């Protein structure tokens, strides 16, 4: 811990380790990502904070789009073919509460699939910048 | 009396912990309860608001803290409310037992009440690239002023104002999340206010810097450090800056436990006041 704190204080940035599994691999590649997204969607439709936002949505298509998107953003060989984030959420008036609820459902889905903490953090750091395009439009 | 109140507070906390999930913000993003009742760390507030209320929710927290240092023992009871993650209102009662000086001063302890508000001005600690910024105010009222008055304090009440910025950098160090927090406070408080406000050496507001940094091992364990600069208004004794090293455990949104080693420096002429700090918080 002290080593980490010391590293923190002197602003140490770890070199990207080539031998480390890529995020895409750590998430279990496309099949693993598809399972995480499926588990997340099961949580969402059971989550009273956001379930009604997903009423009438084509869940199979959403599952495919989200899987492709996570696959793509994590460095995998997938193309995201859905609408851009801003356009897809305009008119939905997504609240901070709803956004937080979805992130929680994603984290719990990753935990259920034993995704290491580091990979979870890495994926969240890639998704977090979408917040501004998703909330409040 | 104090024990009974503490026990009933704990019972209240455990009954609240049994309730449904408190709010939707992610785990640990409400910080813990500082010794002044505002959300933050142990000694240093943060820009985050207490509990886990998001923009359509309300929530809050209750906390008990205990810090036996070499010649004093600090106890704090605190409670807060958070409305829509926009405004936080909190109250705290601090009791500093004068373990060593009590007999000579014919005074068992120093007490003060703190009424605080914090408003989130901008951003989000997790999702905004510029972090979260909040403005806070802490109105402090001494319940015991004989000792502060005798050592040169000018007022038995005072108001601190601070601007705080906090940000969690996701996956920033060894794939772990890092919390960075800093604030500027305008204050006249001596030893946080327990020795009154203003003094013979200086009786005007002073801007002090406070900061904290921590590393999340996972979503329920965080370790870090805090630093709090302090004024030095009283001629009778030096006042030092405060430091601590802490570990916080946040097993759920309902509960957090914080342990720290604090160094309060010289307090009322007794040097090098160090000791453990333990705080338990329930959120609802």
Q: Distance between CA atoms of A41 and A62, rounded to whole angstroms? A: 9
pLDDT under 50 in chain B at which residues? none
* A124–B175 C-beta distance less than 8 A: no
All residues at 6 or more sequence positions from B278 whose CB lies less than 8 Å from its CB, including other chains: B65, B66, B67, B257, B258, B259, B260
Q: What are the Cα distances from residue B234, in Å, to A20, A85, B145, B188, B231?
A: 57, 58, 14, 11, 9
Query: Which of B24, B56, B126 lies closest to A128 in CB terms?
Result: B126
How is B229-266 classified by DSSP, letter by letter? ------TTS----EEEEEEEE-SSSSEEEEEEEEE---
> Is the CB of residue B62 less than 8 Å from the CB of residue B90?
no
Contact A5 B225 (CB under 8 A): yes
Q: Which residues contact A38 (CB under 8 A, 6 or more apart)?
A: A63
- Check if B128 contacts A (Cβ < 8 Å): yes
Nearest to B216 by CA among B125, B279, B88, B119: B125
DSSP state of A71: H
Cβ proximity of B250 and B259 under 8 Å = no
Best A128, A131, A134 residue to mutate vs chain B (most B CBs within 10 Å)? A128
Exposure string of B214-248, with b = 16+ CB inside 10 Å and e = fewer, is bbbebbeebbbbbbbbbbbbbeebebbebbbbbbb
Collapsing DSSP to helix, strand or coil, B228 comes out as strand
**What distance in Å separates the CA atoms of residue B39 and residue B31, rounded to the nearest whole number?**
6
The tens digit of pLDDT for each residue in A1-60 reads 455 555 555 555 555 444 567 999 999 999 999 999 999 999 999 999 999 999 999 999
Q: Return the closest-CA partner of residue B252 out of B4, B6, B27.
A: B27
Say if strands B58-68 and B73-83 run parallel, antiparallel, or are unpaired: antiparallel
Domains with residue ranges and CATH for chain B: 2-283 (2.40.160.40)
**Residue B219 to residue A117, Cβ atoms within 8 A:** yes
Confidence (pLDDT) at A20: 65
Q: Sign of dihedral through CA atoms A100, A102, A108, A111?
A: negative
Q: Do B85 and A99 touch (CB under 8 A)?
A: no
pLDDT tens for A106-127 read: 999 999 999 999 999 999 999 9
Looking at residue A21, what is its pLDDT? 77
Cβ of B251 under 8 Å from any chain A Cβ? no
Residue pairs between chains A and B whose CB atoms are closer than 8 Å: 78
CA distance A97 to chain B (A): 5
pLDDT at B21: 77
CB-based contact, B178 to chain A, within 8 Å: yes
What residues of chain A lie within 8 A of the CB of B85, using their CB?
96
Q: What is the pLDDT of residue B19?
A: 53
- Chain B 136-175, CB below 8 Å of chain A: which residues? 170-175
Closest-CA residue of A relative to B214 is A5
* pLDDT on residue B4: 67
Å from A101 to nearest chain B CA? 6
Over 50: is that where the pLDDT of A88 sits? Answer: yes
Chain B residue with Cα closest to A7: B173
Contact A14 B173 (CB under 8 A): yes
Provide CATH code, domain A22-131.
Answer: 1.10.490.10
B225 touches chain A (CB under 8 A): yes
CA angle B50–B283–B141, rounded 5-degree value: 55
Are the C-beta atoms of residues B249 and B223 closer than 8 Å to each other? no
The tokens 């811990």 sit on which residue?
A: A1
Reference B158, options B121, B92, B118, B204; nearest CA is B204
Q: Looking at residue B232, what is its pLDDT? A: 97
Question: CB distance B171–A8 less than 8 Å?
Answer: no
The token pair at B201 is: 């050496």
Whole-number CA gyration radius for chain B: 18
pLDDT at B74: 98
| 3-state DSSP assignment of residue A47 | coil
| Mean model confidence pLDDT for chain A | 89
Rounded to whole angstroms, the Cα distance separating B157 from B134 reads: 23
Q: B54 vs A117: CB contact, 8 Å cut-off?
A: no
Structure tokens at B202: 């200086």
Contact A95 B55 (CB under 8 A): yes
- CA trace torsion B217, B222, B225, B228 (10° rounding): 150
Contact yes or no for A100 and B26 at CB 8 A: yes
Place of tokens 């105010």: B137
Q: Which of B266, B284, B264 is nearest to B67 (CA)?
A: B264
- Best of A121, A125, A129 to substitute, by most chain B Cβ atoms within 10 angstroms, is A121
């Amino acid at each position: 811990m002290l080593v980490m704190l010391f590293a923190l204080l002197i602003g140490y940035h770890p070199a990207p380790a080539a031998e480390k599994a890529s995020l895409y691999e750590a998430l279990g590649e496309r099949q693993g990502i598809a399972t995480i997204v499926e588990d997340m969607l099961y949580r969402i439709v059971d989550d009273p904070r956001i379930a009604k936002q997903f009423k009438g949505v084509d869940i199979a298509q959403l599952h495919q789009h989200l899987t492709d998107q996570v696959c793509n953003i994590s460095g995998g060989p997938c193309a995201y073919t859905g609408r851009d984030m801003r356009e897809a959420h305009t008119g939905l008036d997504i609240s901070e509460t709803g956004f937080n609820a979805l992130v929680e459902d994603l984290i719990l889905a990753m935990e259920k699939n034993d995704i290491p903490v580091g990979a979870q953090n890495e994926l969240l750091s890639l998704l977090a910048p979408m917040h501004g395009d998703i909330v409040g439009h | 009396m104090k024990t009974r109140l503490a026990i009933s507070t704990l019972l209240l906390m455990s009954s609240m912990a049994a309730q449904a999930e408190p709010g939707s913000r992610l785990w640990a993003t409400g910080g813990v309860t500082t010794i002044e009742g505002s959300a933050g760390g142990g000694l240093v507030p943060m820009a985050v608001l207490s509990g886990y209320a998001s923009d359509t929710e309300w929530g809050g927290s209750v906390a008990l803290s205990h810090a036996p240092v070499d010649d004093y023992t600090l106890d704090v009871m605190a409670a807060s409310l958070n409305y829509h993650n926009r405004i936080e209102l909190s109250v705290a009662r601090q009791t500093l037992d004068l373990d060593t000086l009590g007999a000579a001063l014919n005074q068992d302890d120093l007490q003060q009440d703190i009424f605080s508000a914090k408003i989130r001005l901008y951003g989000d600690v997790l999702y905004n690239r510029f972090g979260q910024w909040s403005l806070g105010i802490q109105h402090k009222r001494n319940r015991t002023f004989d000792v502060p008055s005798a050592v040169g304090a000018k007022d038995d009440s005072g108001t601190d104002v601070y601007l705080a910025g906090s940000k969690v950098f996701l996956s920033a160090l060894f794939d772990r999340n890092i919390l960075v927090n800093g604030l500027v406070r305008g204050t006249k408080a001596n030893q946080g206010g327990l020795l009154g406000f203003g003094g013979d050496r200086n009786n005007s507001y002073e801007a002090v810097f406070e900061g904290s940094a921590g590393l999340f091992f996972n979503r329920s364990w965080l370790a870090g450090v805090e630093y709090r600069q302090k004024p030095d208004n009283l001629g009778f004794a030096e006042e030092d800056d405060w430091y601590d090293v802490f570990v916080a455990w946040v097993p759920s949104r309902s509960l957090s436990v914080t342990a720290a080693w604090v160094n309060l420096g010289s307090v009322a002429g007794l040097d090098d006041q160090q000791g453990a700090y333990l705080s338990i918080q329930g959120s609802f």
